[in-house]
Structure 1
Amino acid sequence: MPHYVDAVAASPWILAVVFVVAGMDALLPFMPSESTVVACGVAAAGTGRPHLALLVMAAAAGAYCGDAVSFRIGRRSTSFSERFTHRRARAVHGWVHRLLHSRGGLVVVFARYVPGGRSTTALAAGLVGYPSARFHWYTAAGVVLWSIQAALIGYLGGALFADRPVLGLALACGIALAVTGLAVLIQGRSTPERVPAP
Protein backbone atom coordinates (compact mmCIF):
# COMPACT_ATOMS: atom_id res chain seq x y z
CA MET A 1 0.00 0.00 0.00
CA PRO A 2 1.62 3.33 -1.05
CA HIS A 3 2.65 5.58 1.85
CA TYR A 4 0.39 8.46 0.74
CA VAL A 5 -2.71 6.22 0.94
CA ASP A 6 -1.62 5.10 4.38
CA ALA A 7 -1.14 8.72 5.49
CA VAL A 8 -4.58 9.78 4.28
CA ALA A 9 -6.30 6.72 5.77
CA ALA A 10 -4.59 7.30 9.12
CA SER A 11 -5.63 10.95 9.30
CA PRO A 12 -7.94 11.70 12.24
CA TRP A 13 -9.97 13.91 9.87
CA ILE A 14 -10.86 11.21 7.35
CA LEU A 15 -14.05 10.18 9.18
CA ALA A 16 -15.08 13.83 9.49
CA VAL A 17 -14.63 14.21 5.73
CA VAL A 18 -16.76 11.09 5.14
CA PHE A 19 -19.47 12.47 7.46
CA VAL A 20 -19.56 15.89 5.77
CA VAL A 21 -19.49 14.56 2.19
CA ALA A 22 -22.23 11.99 2.94
CA GLY A 23 -24.35 14.70 4.53
CA MET A 24 -23.83 17.31 1.83
CA ASP A 25 -24.80 14.80 -0.87
CA ALA A 26 -28.43 15.17 0.21
CA LEU A 27 -28.29 18.90 -0.61
CA LEU A 28 -25.71 18.91 -3.41
CA PRO A 29 -26.23 15.75 -5.50
CA PHE A 30 -22.85 16.08 -7.23
CA MET A 31 -20.98 15.35 -3.97
CA PRO A 32 -19.10 12.03 -4.33
CA SER A 33 -20.44 10.40 -1.16
CA GLU A 34 -20.43 6.81 -2.37
CA SER A 35 -17.03 7.15 -4.05
CA THR A 36 -15.59 8.59 -0.84
CA VAL A 37 -16.88 5.69 1.26
CA VAL A 38 -15.72 3.14 -1.33
CA ALA A 39 -12.24 4.72 -1.46
CA CYS A 40 -11.99 4.63 2.33
CA GLY A 41 -13.09 0.99 2.26
CA VAL A 42 -10.26 0.23 -0.18
CA ALA A 43 -7.80 1.99 2.15
CA ALA A 44 -9.17 0.11 5.18
CA ALA A 45 -8.48 -3.22 3.48
CA GLY A 46 -4.83 -2.35 2.95
CA THR A 47 -4.00 -0.36 6.08
CA GLY A 48 -6.65 -1.24 8.64
CA ARG A 49 -7.54 2.45 8.75
CA PRO A 50 -10.07 3.88 8.99
CA HIS A 51 -11.67 1.11 11.04
CA LEU A 52 -14.45 -0.39 8.92
CA ALA A 53 -17.12 -0.09 11.63
CA LEU A 54 -16.26 3.58 12.24
CA LEU A 55 -16.35 4.21 8.48
CA VAL A 56 -19.85 2.72 8.25
CA MET A 57 -21.01 4.75 11.26
CA ALA A 58 -19.60 8.04 9.93
CA ALA A 59 -21.11 7.51 6.46
CA ALA A 60 -24.51 6.47 7.85
CA ALA A 61 -24.63 9.35 10.36
CA GLY A 62 -23.68 11.92 7.73
CA ALA A 63 -26.19 10.59 5.21
CA TYR A 64 -28.93 10.51 7.86
CA CYS A 65 -28.29 14.11 8.92
CA GLY A 66 -28.25 15.29 5.31
CA ASP A 67 -31.52 13.53 4.52
CA ALA A 68 -33.12 14.94 7.68
CA VAL A 69 -32.10 18.49 6.72
CA SER A 70 -33.41 18.05 3.17
CA PHE A 71 -36.70 16.65 4.51
CA ARG A 72 -36.96 19.60 6.91
CA ILE A 73 -36.44 22.06 4.06
CA GLY A 74 -39.25 20.33 2.16
CA ARG A 75 -41.50 20.50 5.22
CA ARG A 76 -40.91 24.22 5.62
CA SER A 77 -41.74 24.72 1.94
CA THR A 78 -45.18 23.06 2.05
CA SER A 79 -46.92 26.45 2.06
CA PHE A 80 -45.04 27.27 -1.15
CA SER A 81 -46.08 23.98 -2.78
CA GLU A 82 -49.71 24.61 -1.87
CA ARG A 83 -49.61 27.70 -4.08
CA PHE A 84 -48.88 25.73 -7.24
CA THR A 85 -51.27 27.00 -9.86
CA HIS A 86 -49.75 25.55 -13.00
CA ARG A 87 -51.57 22.36 -13.97
CA ARG A 88 -48.36 20.46 -14.68
CA ALA A 89 -46.87 21.37 -11.27
CA ARG A 90 -50.01 20.30 -9.45
CA ALA A 91 -50.14 17.03 -11.40
CA VAL A 92 -46.50 16.23 -10.50
CA HIS A 93 -47.15 17.13 -6.85
CA GLY A 94 -50.16 14.79 -6.80
CA TRP A 95 -48.19 11.98 -8.45
CA VAL A 96 -45.33 12.28 -5.94
CA HIS A 97 -47.84 12.36 -3.06
CA ARG A 98 -49.53 9.16 -4.27
CA LEU A 99 -46.21 7.39 -4.91
CA LEU A 100 -44.74 8.19 -1.50
CA HIS A 101 -47.90 7.46 0.42
CA SER A 102 -48.34 4.10 -1.31
CA ARG A 103 -44.68 2.94 -1.59
CA GLY A 104 -42.84 5.41 0.59
CA GLY A 105 -40.70 2.87 2.43
CA LEU A 106 -39.24 1.36 -0.73
CA VAL A 107 -38.72 4.75 -2.34
CA VAL A 108 -36.98 6.29 0.70
CA VAL A 109 -34.72 3.26 1.24
CA PHE A 110 -33.74 2.55 -2.36
CA ALA A 111 -33.90 5.95 -4.12
CA ARG A 112 -30.40 6.70 -2.79
CA TYR A 113 -29.03 4.19 -5.31
CA VAL A 114 -30.50 6.15 -8.22
CA PRO A 115 -28.45 9.21 -9.32
CA GLY A 116 -30.03 12.29 -7.75
CA GLY A 117 -32.73 10.13 -6.16
CA ARG A 118 -31.67 10.64 -2.58
CA SER A 119 -31.84 14.45 -2.51
CA THR A 120 -35.00 14.54 -4.59
CA THR A 121 -36.81 11.98 -2.45
CA ALA A 122 -36.00 13.56 0.91
CA LEU A 123 -37.06 17.02 -0.27
CA ALA A 124 -40.19 15.68 -2.01
CA ALA A 125 -41.18 13.67 1.08
CA GLY A 126 -41.16 16.86 3.10
CA LEU A 127 -43.03 18.80 0.42
CA VAL A 128 -45.92 16.33 0.13
CA GLY A 129 -46.31 15.85 3.89
CA TYR A 130 -44.97 12.32 4.19
CA PRO A 131 -45.19 11.30 7.89
CA SER A 132 -42.05 12.45 9.68
CA ALA A 133 -41.61 9.42 11.96
CA ARG A 134 -41.99 7.03 9.03
CA PHE A 135 -39.52 9.01 6.93
CA HIS A 136 -36.89 8.96 9.67
CA TRP A 137 -37.25 5.21 10.31
CA TYR A 138 -36.97 4.35 6.63
CA THR A 139 -34.09 6.79 6.20
CA ALA A 140 -32.23 5.20 9.12
CA ALA A 141 -32.64 1.76 7.52
CA GLY A 142 -31.62 3.10 4.12
CA VAL A 143 -28.45 4.87 5.26
CA VAL A 144 -27.27 1.84 7.25
CA LEU A 145 -27.75 -0.46 4.24
CA TRP A 146 -26.10 2.04 1.91
CA SER A 147 -23.07 2.70 4.12
CA ILE A 148 -22.47 -1.00 4.80
CA GLN A 149 -22.74 -1.81 1.09
CA ALA A 150 -20.39 1.00 -0.01
CA ALA A 151 -17.79 0.27 2.69
CA LEU A 152 -17.82 -3.48 2.03
CA ILE A 153 -17.55 -3.04 -1.74
CA GLY A 154 -14.50 -0.85 -1.19
CA TYR A 155 -13.05 -3.28 1.33
CA LEU A 156 -13.55 -6.20 -1.06
CA GLY A 157 -11.82 -4.34 -3.89
CA GLY A 158 -8.96 -3.37 -1.61
CA ALA A 159 -8.57 -6.90 -0.26
CA LEU A 160 -8.49 -8.46 -3.74
CA PHE A 161 -5.85 -5.99 -4.96
CA ALA A 162 -3.92 -5.23 -1.78
CA ASP A 163 -0.73 -4.29 -3.66
CA ARG A 164 -2.55 -2.25 -6.29
CA PRO A 165 -5.09 0.02 -4.54
CA VAL A 166 -5.97 1.89 -7.75
CA LEU A 167 -7.06 -1.40 -9.33
CA GLY A 168 -9.02 -2.23 -6.17
CA LEU A 169 -10.72 1.17 -6.33
CA ALA A 170 -11.58 0.67 -10.01
CA LEU A 171 -13.12 -2.74 -9.27
CA ALA A 172 -15.06 -1.39 -6.29
CA CYS A 173 -16.38 1.58 -8.27
CA GLY A 174 -17.40 -0.78 -11.09
CA ILE A 175 -19.38 -2.91 -8.64
CA ALA A 176 -20.98 0.19 -7.11
CA LEU A 177 -21.93 1.38 -10.61
CA ALA A 178 -23.49 -2.02 -11.36
CA VAL A 179 -25.53 -1.80 -8.14
CA THR A 180 -26.73 1.67 -9.19
CA GLY A 181 -27.68 0.37 -12.64
CA LEU A 182 -29.62 -2.48 -11.09
CA ALA A 183 -31.43 -0.03 -8.78
CA VAL A 184 -32.38 2.18 -11.74
CA LEU A 185 -33.72 -0.86 -13.60
CA ILE A 186 -35.76 -2.07 -10.61
CA GLN A 187 -37.06 1.42 -9.92
CA GLY A 188 -38.16 1.80 -13.53
CA ARG A 189 -40.06 -1.49 -13.46
CA SER A 190 -41.65 -1.01 -10.04
CA THR A 191 -43.00 2.53 -10.43
CA PRO A 192 -46.76 2.04 -10.67
CA GLU A 193 -47.41 5.05 -12.89
CA ARG A 194 -45.48 7.66 -14.79
CA VAL A 195 -45.37 11.37 -14.16
CA PRO A 196 -48.47 12.86 -15.78
CA ALA A 197 -47.91 14.36 -19.20
CA PRO A 198 -48.35 18.14 -19.54
Structure 2
Amino acid sequence: MPHTLDAVAASPWILAVVFVVAGLDALLPFMPSESTVLACGVAAANTGRPHLGLLIVVAAAGAWLGDVLSYRLGRRSTAAVTARLSHRRAVAVHAWVHRLLHSRGGLVIVFARYVPGGRSTTALAAGLVGYPARRFGWYTAGGVLLWSVQGALLGYIGGAFFESRPLLGLLVAWSGAFVITGLAVGIRRLADREVRAGVR
Protein backbone atom coordinates (compact mmCIF):
# COMPACT_ATOMS: atom_id res chain seq x y z
CA MET A 1 0.00 0.00 0.00
CA PRO A 2 2.73 2.60 0.82
CA HIS A 3 4.36 1.97 -2.59
CA THR A 4 1.03 2.48 -4.36
CA LEU A 5 0.39 5.66 -2.37
CA ASP A 6 3.84 6.97 -3.22
CA ALA A 7 3.34 6.26 -6.93
CA VAL A 8 -0.03 8.03 -7.03
CA ALA A 9 1.21 11.02 -5.01
CA ALA A 10 4.29 11.36 -7.24
CA SER A 11 2.22 11.47 -10.44
CA PRO A 12 2.48 14.81 -12.24
CA TRP A 13 -1.26 14.56 -12.93
CA ILE A 14 -2.43 14.43 -9.32
CA LEU A 15 -2.67 18.21 -8.94
CA ALA A 16 -4.45 18.47 -12.30
CA VAL A 17 -7.02 15.97 -10.99
CA VAL A 18 -7.45 18.04 -7.81
CA PHE A 19 -7.96 21.22 -9.87
CA VAL A 20 -10.54 19.66 -12.22
CA VAL A 21 -12.51 17.84 -9.50
CA ALA A 22 -12.59 20.95 -7.27
CA GLY A 23 -13.86 23.02 -10.18
CA LEU A 24 -16.47 20.58 -11.43
CA ASP A 25 -17.92 20.20 -7.92
CA ALA A 26 -19.56 23.63 -8.34
CA LEU A 27 -21.47 22.37 -11.39
CA LEU A 28 -21.79 18.67 -10.51
CA PRO A 29 -22.32 18.41 -6.72
CA PHE A 30 -21.59 14.66 -6.66
CA MET A 31 -17.91 15.23 -7.52
CA PRO A 32 -15.71 14.12 -4.57
CA SER A 33 -13.73 17.35 -4.24
CA GLU A 34 -13.35 17.25 -0.48
CA SER A 35 -12.38 13.58 -0.44
CA THR A 36 -9.78 14.22 -3.15
CA VAL A 37 -8.16 17.04 -1.15
CA LEU A 38 -8.26 14.96 2.06
CA ALA A 39 -6.64 11.97 0.33
CA CYS A 40 -3.91 14.17 -1.15
CA GLY A 41 -3.31 15.68 2.29
CA VAL A 42 -2.81 12.18 3.71
CA ALA A 43 -0.43 11.39 0.85
CA ALA A 44 1.51 14.59 1.50
CA ALA A 45 2.02 13.59 5.14
CA ASN A 46 3.19 10.09 4.21
CA THR A 47 5.27 10.75 1.11
CA GLY A 48 5.94 14.50 1.00
CA ARG A 49 4.03 14.68 -2.30
CA PRO A 50 2.14 16.59 -3.44
CA HIS A 51 3.58 19.64 -1.70
CA LEU A 52 1.02 20.75 0.91
CA GLY A 53 1.15 24.44 -0.02
CA LEU A 54 0.77 23.66 -3.71
CA LEU A 55 -2.15 21.34 -2.95
CA ILE A 56 -3.93 24.14 -1.08
CA VAL A 57 -3.37 26.66 -3.90
CA VAL A 58 -4.45 24.28 -6.68
CA ALA A 59 -7.58 23.11 -4.84
CA ALA A 60 -8.57 26.70 -4.04
CA ALA A 61 -7.95 27.84 -7.63
CA GLY A 62 -10.05 25.04 -9.10
CA ALA A 63 -12.89 25.62 -6.63
CA TRP A 64 -12.82 29.39 -7.28
CA LEU A 65 -13.02 28.91 -11.04
CA GLY A 66 -15.92 26.46 -10.66
CA ASP A 67 -17.82 28.87 -8.40
CA VAL A 68 -17.33 31.76 -10.82
CA LEU A 69 -18.55 29.64 -13.75
CA SER A 70 -21.64 28.61 -11.77
CA TYR A 71 -22.26 32.25 -10.83
CA ARG A 72 -22.00 33.37 -14.46
CA LEU A 73 -24.37 30.61 -15.53
CA GLY A 74 -26.88 31.98 -13.03
CA ARG A 75 -26.28 35.54 -14.21
CA ARG A 76 -27.01 34.60 -17.81
CA SER A 77 -30.21 32.82 -16.77
CA THR A 78 -31.59 35.74 -14.72
CA ALA A 79 -33.97 37.10 -17.36
CA ALA A 80 -35.35 33.66 -18.28
CA VAL A 81 -35.92 32.66 -14.64
CA THR A 82 -37.48 36.00 -13.66
CA ALA A 83 -39.89 35.80 -16.62
CA ARG A 84 -41.15 32.43 -15.38
CA LEU A 85 -41.78 33.48 -11.79
CA SER A 86 -45.55 33.39 -11.84
CA HIS A 87 -46.45 31.43 -8.71
CA ARG A 88 -46.75 33.60 -5.59
CA ARG A 89 -44.62 31.27 -3.47
CA ALA A 90 -41.85 31.16 -6.10
CA VAL A 91 -41.79 34.96 -6.21
CA ALA A 92 -41.61 35.08 -2.41
CA VAL A 93 -38.69 32.61 -2.31
CA HIS A 94 -36.85 34.56 -5.02
CA ALA A 95 -37.35 37.81 -3.08
CA TRP A 96 -36.15 36.17 0.15
CA VAL A 97 -32.99 34.81 -1.52
CA HIS A 98 -32.33 38.27 -2.96
CA ARG A 99 -32.65 39.87 0.48
CA LEU A 100 -30.57 37.18 2.18
CA LEU A 101 -27.65 37.39 -0.26
CA HIS A 102 -27.65 41.17 -0.41
CA SER A 103 -27.70 41.47 3.38
CA ARG A 104 -25.60 38.46 4.48
CA GLY A 105 -24.02 37.36 1.23
CA GLY A 106 -20.50 37.07 2.58
CA LEU A 107 -21.39 34.58 5.30
CA VAL A 108 -23.63 32.56 2.99
CA ILE A 109 -21.06 32.36 0.18
CA VAL A 110 -18.19 31.42 2.50
CA PHE A 111 -19.95 28.82 4.63
CA ALA A 112 -22.58 27.31 2.30
CA ARG A 113 -19.86 25.14 0.72
CA TYR A 114 -19.81 23.03 3.90
CA VAL A 115 -23.47 22.07 3.41
CA PRO A 116 -24.11 19.24 0.91
CA GLY A 117 -25.15 20.88 -2.36
CA GLY A 118 -24.82 24.33 -0.80
CA ARG A 119 -21.85 25.45 -2.86
CA SER A 120 -23.40 25.00 -6.30
CA THR A 121 -26.82 26.27 -5.18
CA THR A 122 -25.40 29.42 -3.62
CA ALA A 123 -23.17 30.34 -6.57
CA LEU A 124 -26.02 29.83 -9.03
CA ALA A 125 -28.49 31.73 -6.84
CA ALA A 126 -26.06 34.63 -6.41
CA GLY A 127 -25.92 34.99 -10.17
CA LEU A 128 -29.69 34.70 -10.55
CA VAL A 129 -30.48 37.47 -8.05
CA GLY A 130 -27.80 39.80 -9.37
CA TYR A 131 -25.37 39.69 -6.47
CA PRO A 132 -22.40 41.99 -7.36
CA ALA A 133 -19.82 40.00 -9.34
CA ARG A 134 -16.76 41.59 -7.75
CA ARG A 135 -18.06 41.05 -4.24
CA PHE A 136 -18.95 37.46 -5.09
CA GLY A 137 -15.45 36.87 -6.43
CA TRP A 138 -13.78 38.15 -3.26
CA TYR A 139 -16.03 36.26 -0.85
CA THR A 140 -15.64 33.10 -2.91
CA ALA A 141 -11.86 33.52 -2.88
CA GLY A 142 -11.94 33.65 0.93
CA GLY A 143 -14.31 30.70 1.10
CA VAL A 144 -12.33 28.42 -1.21
CA LEU A 145 -9.06 29.27 0.55
CA LEU A 146 -10.59 28.40 3.93
CA TRP A 147 -12.06 25.20 2.47
CA SER A 148 -8.82 24.05 0.81
CA VAL A 149 -6.71 24.81 3.90
CA GLN A 150 -9.14 22.90 6.11
CA GLY A 151 -9.30 19.87 3.78
CA ALA A 152 -5.56 19.67 3.14
CA LEU A 153 -4.66 20.12 6.81
CA LEU A 154 -7.22 17.57 8.03
CA GLY A 155 -5.75 15.06 5.58
CA TYR A 156 -2.19 15.97 6.49
CA ILE A 157 -2.82 15.70 10.25
CA GLY A 158 -4.60 12.36 9.82
CA GLY A 159 -1.76 11.07 7.67
CA ALA A 160 0.91 12.33 10.08
CA PHE A 161 -0.68 10.66 13.11
CA PHE A 162 -1.13 7.36 11.27
CA GLU A 163 1.94 7.42 9.06
CA SER A 164 2.17 3.64 8.71
CA ARG A 165 -1.58 3.27 8.14
CA PRO A 166 -2.67 5.84 5.53
CA LEU A 167 -6.19 4.41 5.21
CA LEU A 168 -6.77 4.97 8.92
CA GLY A 169 -5.37 8.48 8.53
CA LEU A 170 -7.85 9.12 5.71
CA LEU A 171 -10.70 7.76 7.86
CA VAL A 172 -9.76 10.13 10.70
CA ALA A 173 -9.60 13.05 8.24
CA TRP A 174 -13.02 12.14 6.85
CA SER A 175 -14.40 12.02 10.38
CA GLY A 176 -13.12 15.55 11.02
CA ALA A 177 -14.68 16.77 7.78
CA PHE A 178 -17.93 14.99 8.70
CA VAL A 179 -18.07 16.83 12.03
CA ILE A 180 -17.57 20.19 10.30
CA THR A 181 -20.27 19.33 7.76
CA GLY A 182 -22.60 18.29 10.60
CA LEU A 183 -22.18 21.68 12.23
CA ALA A 184 -22.91 23.38 8.89
CA VAL A 185 -26.06 21.28 8.40
CA GLY A 186 -27.24 22.26 11.88
CA ILE A 187 -26.77 25.92 11.03
CA ARG A 188 -28.60 25.38 7.74
CA ARG A 189 -31.60 23.92 9.55
CA LEU A 190 -31.81 27.02 11.68
CA ALA A 191 -31.65 29.10 8.50
CA ASP A 192 -34.37 26.93 6.91
CA ARG A 193 -36.71 27.88 9.73
CA GLU A 194 -36.02 31.51 8.91
CA VAL A 195 -36.70 30.78 5.23
CA ARG A 196 -40.09 29.28 6.02
CA ALA A 197 -40.92 32.18 8.31
CA GLY A 198 -39.85 34.70 5.66
CA VAL A 199 -41.89 33.00 2.93
CA ARG A 200 -44.97 32.95 5.12
The alignment's TM-score, normalised by the length of structure 1, stands at 0.96
Which digits, 9 at most, give the CA deviation of each residue in 1:34-68, with x for residues without a partner?
00000000000000000000100110000000000
**C-alpha separation in 1, matches of 2:102 and 2:188:** 16
Q: Which amino acid in structure 2 is aligned with residue 39 of structure 1?
A: A
Residue equivalent to 2:161: 160
RMSD: 1.4
Is contact 2:96-2:199 (8 Å) kept? no
What amino acid is the match of 1:94? Answer: A
Identity, % of aligned pairs? 71
Could you tell me which residue of structure 1 aligns to residue 173 of structure 2? Answer: 172
Q: CA deviation at 1:88?
A: 2.1
1:190 positional shift = 5.2
In the alignment, which residue of structure 1 is the partner of 2:97?
96
Mapped to 1, the partners of 2:160 and 2:179 lie a distance apart of: 19
1:74-104 per-position Cα deviation (integer Å, ceiling 9, x unaligned) = 0000101211112222111111111111110
Q: Which residue of structure 2 aligns with residue 123 of structure 1?
A: 124
Q: Per-residue deviation at 1:113?
A: 0.3
Q: What CA distance in whole angstroms lies between the structure 2 residues aligned with 1:46 and 1:58?
A: 19
Indicate whether 1:60 and 2:60 are aligned: yes
Instruction: Deviation per CA, 1:89-125: give whole Å up to 9, x if none.
Output: 2111111111111110000000000000000000000
The list of structure 1 runs, each at least 4 consecutive aligned residues, that deviate by more than 6 angstroms after superposition, is none
- The one-character-per-residue Cα deviations of 1:109-159 (angstroms, maximum 9, x if unpaired) are 000000000000000000000011110000000000000000000000000
Does 2:120 correspond to 1:141? no
Residue correspondence of structure 1 range 25-40 to structure 2 within 5 A:
25-40=25-40
Paired residue secondary structure (2:86): coil
CA distance in 1, matches of 2:126, 2:115: 16
Amino acid in structure 2 at the alignment position of 1:120:
T
Deviation at 1:189, TM superposition (A): 3.2
Runs (5+) with no aligned partner, structure 1: none
SS class of match (2:164): coil
2: CA distance between counterparts of 1:19 and 1:188?
A: 31
- Aligned letter for 1:106? L
**Structure 2 equivalent of residue 106 of structure 1:** 107
Structure 1 position 32, deviation (Å): 0.4
